[in-house]
Structure 1
């Protein structure tokens, strides 16, 4: 058996690891660890390379998430997933990699998160998951039940409307950069929450900003002053595909300086704004690499 099997499934392995870890850098490391284990394995005895590799990367990602969880507990300010550029894909795949869902998954234990991802996103059976995470099937079922309950309570599912998502994103960007508070208020849900992740490396809100008036005022204020030494007039922005839906990438002084994604409620109003400015989390976007988000694991 050649190394072609690993190359054939590399994008898929990244997709699994990224959903479990919420970090492109950590996911790439997990894929590399999977490669090392793959090269050391007796591949002549592997009947299904795809399933075998998926089990390895799942196990590696869970181990990495346990150590990452401790670091995130002392993170400076809100922790948000590392954004990635994605292609236009089917709505189910896009939802499973959305920033909003990954934020919800942060509250799960590493085991619950892995089980949820493998079951809900990739359609693993309970016996397969038990094998992948080295737990009993009963333990896996209980973890899946807890994870589903948590996600359903905090992440209601609304019909995906890509046209509406892009329209709202473009209108929000125009209103925010123009400092138009009235236009912003028209787009925001009353209880909207703004989450900004600077990681203690750039100046951002250290706690969520909640409420339409406060969020609108925050963005109106940002539009009037330089950001990290870059004048507003020198900042460019582009609406691109981020984590499965339209988002905004900001660039200035020859580098990516931030990303913005919006989560809409059932009325099409903005329920949450996620702004990542931590430079360590912008590397995946800065490379320009587009990650497939398809769910072809079976």
Structure 2
């Protein structure tokens, strides 16, 4: 406990796992025991040389990682609060504060964040969570996390399906009733555009429909935690899988030959599914690589 071992950030076994992930078209790869930004950059360089489209999840679980969490978050694609190993390196009373610090650092860096380990630990043996576990999950939701990850509950627990159902039930109730932390500090032109679109949809109480190929606009809007439903159409199943981890996004696979065609096909798909109904206001948007942005406001009439 409280000791970090000076081992290489990427081992031979890790390289084998990377090749396995590439071969089987994984979307993300997690890097354990991250200590500094350079560890992420080393993995990024390996993936680049292998021409691999894999996102990097940085697991924050060591004292060095906590000290360097801001620079790690800036370099990684996703940040994971690994509460199990944090509990081995810090006093248990520090974990809630560390969780908040890591979550805020990720969101302020514009990166999605996952909280994992011992969310509903009692469901390993019992079919109902404790009151403390319900509060713990609700607090994580209020902090603005993108995702919650069960571990032992589904890996070795007696009630894996009940654990998933309970987690969904608690999260749904929390999202309806608690105030969720939102970081609306923006820097880039694209981020300012995303903020404008999100606030326009909120002011109009309109549903938001995005067509995205690379997922950039969708990620930026998700970071703002808009209070209205928003849907993302894309021709890329891989991008949609990557986006599925982000807060609030409802993804749809919509092949198209252009952004304009894709946006209209996404709208029509939602009409057919009943997600967009007569009388609804919708804000439709897409952004081109040239920094040209298209925004449409439409009232559904028939």
Whether these two folds match at TM > 0.5 is no
When the two structures are superposed, what TM-score results if normalisation uses the length of structure 2? 0.26
Normalized per residue, the structure richer in helix is 1
> Which one scores higher on RCO, CA 8 angstroms, separation ≥ 6?
1
> Scaled by the length of structure 1, what TM-score is found?
0.26
